[in-house]
Amino acid sequence: MLSAKMEDYLKAIYRLEREGDPPVATSTIAETVGVTPPTATSMVEKLEDRGLLEREKYKGVTLTPEGETVALEVIRHHRLLETFLTEELGYDWSEVHEEAEILEHHISEEFERRVAAALDEPTVDPHGDPIPNDQLDPIDDVPAAVLADHGEGARLEVVRVRDRDAEELTYLDEVGITPGTELVVEEIAPIGMVTVRLADGETVSLPDHIADAIQVRSRDDVVAEVSGA
């Protein structure tokens, strides 16, 4: 049986593989998990011994198919729990990440199945992150373009919001920017602010670090999908 810490490493490596080009350096894993490089190296060796990852000397590690399956299962638990906490228990979306981090390691497969059924098999969590299906098939978890990368006049739809900072999530909720929100980039200020106009006509100025936390897609792409183009 894997420990919660082992599962955390596998989940972190899975995410890092999709954010960059594997193999993933041990130093990057250490920084992500919040440990020293020697500590990360020790854990990597244990996971390698269990057949959950492969290590390439001086380059880094990649998950084996078994390691990827474990990571996807933990991610499924996490995102289902976030959805359950918000939709059924009244948690704010800024509160659920830390709760799910604790609970994801301790629920049974039966509990997971019942939660998914009660939620009508959701495909995304409250922050727009895709939820792996019950077959643990690979997911399209590659980050989309961020709001800060778009120029003035861009017509966009919010698809995901980074869930690591509770204060950012609280602020975005207050100004009405959540997954599904449509907006237009009004101004890119040289002082590090992005001003957007929402569908109701309200304008919101966002610091660059918050604009970097918002993943978007072009509204033109959305229209093309709907029209079948």
Give pLDDT, residue 227: 45
C-beta separation of 63 from 52 below 8 A: yes
* Residue 166 located in a structural domain: yes
Indicate if the pLDDT at residue 225 is higher than 80. Answer: no
C-alpha radius of gyration, the chain, whole number: 19
* Residue 94 located in a structural domain: no
* Residue 179 located in a structural domain: yes
State the amino acid at position 208 in one-letter form: D
Task: Give the CATH number, domain containing residue 201.
Answer: 2.30.30.90
| Count: domains in the chain | 2
Q: Which structural domain, as residue segments, surrounds residue 58?
A: 4-63
Rounded CA gap, 186 and 152, in Å?
5
Within 13 Å of residue 154, how many CA atoms lie on the same side as its CB?
21
Task: Give the CATH number, domain containing residue 30.
Answer: 1.10.10.10
148-200, pLDDT tens digit by residue?
999 999 999 999 999 889 999 999 999 999 999 999 999 999 888 999 999 99
State which of 24, 40, 63 marks the end of a domain: 63
* Residue 16 located in a structural domain: yes
State which of 15, 41, 63 marks the end of a domain: 63
Rounded CA gap, 196 and 57, in Å?
47
* Residue 90 located in a structural domain: no
With 0.85 as the threshold, say if the pTM is over it: yes
84-124, pLDDT tens digit by residue?
999 999 999 999 999 999 999 999 999 999 999 999 999 99
Indicate the SS3 state at residue 42.
helix
N-terminal to C-terminal alpha carbon distance within the chain: 49
State which of 18, 43, 63 marks the end of a domain: 63
* Burial of 138 (C-beta count, 10 Å sphere; 0-12/13-18/19+): exposed
* Residue 130 located in a structural domain: no
Q: What mean pLDDT is reported for the chain? A: 93
* Residue 23 located in a structural domain: yes
